[in-house]
Amino acid sequence: MQNTTHFGFKSVATEDKQDLVKGVFDSVASKYDLMNDILSFGMHRLWKRYAVAAANIKIGDKVLDIAGGTGDLATAFCKKVGTEGRVILSDINATMLDEGRKNLINHGIFGLDFVQLNAEYLPFEGGVFDCVSIAFGLRNITDKDQALKEMHRVLKPGGVLLILEFSKTNSELLRKFYDFYSFNLIPKIGELVTNDADSYQYLAESIRKHPDQEALKNRVLDAGFDFCEYHNLSAGIVALHKGIKV
């Protein structure tokens, strides 16, 4: 890896990024779901519902949700796999995992596993999962290519990778509005609701540093996947990439 990487628009030492990202999510964890609802006008729930439907999960499947945070996808996956399947909710951040555990208990969801892990070094044998998902988390990983290779390794042949992430819109009008909203309003809302403008400034910047749809598709293929396609949601503000391991 390079000696430096990006943390939003800043250049930082590679070994420092993980702790910096941890600080962001330690700060926002307790209000994470509320802020998602506010900032996306509730659309994040529809984006996640679309991702779960695209996974084609069935009873008995094994699913690993990476950077699963407060458990939105894990909750939906548990209902799909039933008692015969297995869902692992994972995150590098212990504070986010605690929020996820509380959310699932409040929804009456039991029987899944919680694992604190680094996506660059997944602590599982190869070929054990039917689906690996990551929603709005890939852009926060320091070595994305290493993480994608690990996701490929732990999937079974025929397994599905789902990456739901903010992306690039082709609409010039929408891009201008989105830029104004991201850099002028989102930090202010973050300050008002969570008393933390800096974390939401980082989150807005991290979206701009993330690969666009085609670039991410190529990186998924380079990681070993035999097939990858993407579907734009909300005019490309968000994209769902679906990779298949043959």
Q: CA geometry: angle at 163 spanning 221 and 132, to 5°?
A: 90
In 3D, which of 48, 244, 22 has the Cα closest to residue 135? 48
Residue 108, pLDDT score: 87
Inter-residue contact 242 to 133 (CB < 8 Å): no
Domain boundaries defined on the chain: 4-244
- pLDDT, average across residues 103-111: 87
Beta carbons of 133 and 64 less than 8 angstroms apart: yes
Scan for tokens 């399947």, then name that residue. 85
Backbone angles phi, psi at 59, to 5 degrees: -55, 135
- pLDDT tens digits, 217-230: 999 999 999 999 99
4-244 folds as Rossmann fold (3.40.50)
Give the residue among 127, 156, 146, 132 at the shortest CA–CA distance from 242. 132
pLDDT at 46: 96
In this predicted model, what pLDDT tens digit does every residue of 39-53 receive, in sequence order?
A: 999 999 999 999 999
Residue 1 clears pLDDT 60, i.e. is over it: no
pLDDT score at 2: 62
Q: How far is CA 2 from CA 14, 17, 154, 214, in A?
A: 7, 12, 25, 23
- 156-212 tens-digit pLDDT: 999 999 999 999 999 999 999 999 999 999 999 999 999 999 999 999 999 999 999
Mean pLDDT computed over 121-141: 97
